[in-house]
Amino acid sequence: MRDSLEVPADLAQIAHALAWLEQIGERDAWPARLRFGMELSLDEALTNIVSYAYPEALQAGPSIGHITLHLARVDDQVALTIEDDGVAYDPTQLPPPAAVDSIDDAEIGGHGMQLMRHYMDAIRYARVDGRNQLTLVADCGAARGA
């Protein structure tokens, strides 16, 4: 089964995309951990895309680009592909944040990819025909046992 959604690259549209994913999770009876991980990861990815992939939007206003979501379920895996036509950027190349000894030493920001890595079984990036494609893969069977 495959579901798709296209939204403008606008912070106000993130809630719409999250509601779309939540409905699919309910429809397909995803385990709670899978739903949480997918929703958190989608929120993080979309926020970063809208905030950084379209620098010209700062002058032109929101909705200069479009983001397409494709969700497929094959056997016990869910794969969510997030496509955008913004600046090429591979978030999978980000190193994990440095370990710190206290909360005072922790930097604000930069932890989203680490959270995504925690909840997803695989994260893949490709640049195809001028579009970024970030695919988040979660194993439903593993999520059931968590």
Determine if residue 29 is left, alpha or beta; phi over 0 gives left, psi from -120 to 50 gives alpha, anything else beta. left
pLDDT for 3 equals 96
Residue 63 has pLDDT above 60, yes or no: no
Residue 4 has pLDDT above 50, yes or no: yes
Residue 23 has pLDDT above 70, yes or no: yes
Residue 52 has pLDDT above 80, yes or no: yes
Domains in the chain, number: 1
Q: Which residues contact 59 (CB under 8 A, 6 or more apart)?
A: none
Model confidence, pTM: 0.84
Tell me which of 16-30, 58-72, 101-115 is least confident.
101-115
Q: Which residues contact 126 (CB under 8 A, 6 or more apart)?
A: 133, 135
Higher pLDDT, 109 or 28: 28
- The vertex-26 CA angle with 21 and 28, nearest 5°, equals 95
CATH number at residue 78: 3.30.565.10
Residue 10 has pLDDT above 70, yes or no: yes
Give the structural domain span for 37: 2-145
Taking alpha carbons only, the member of 105, 122, 118, 123 closest to residue 146 is 118
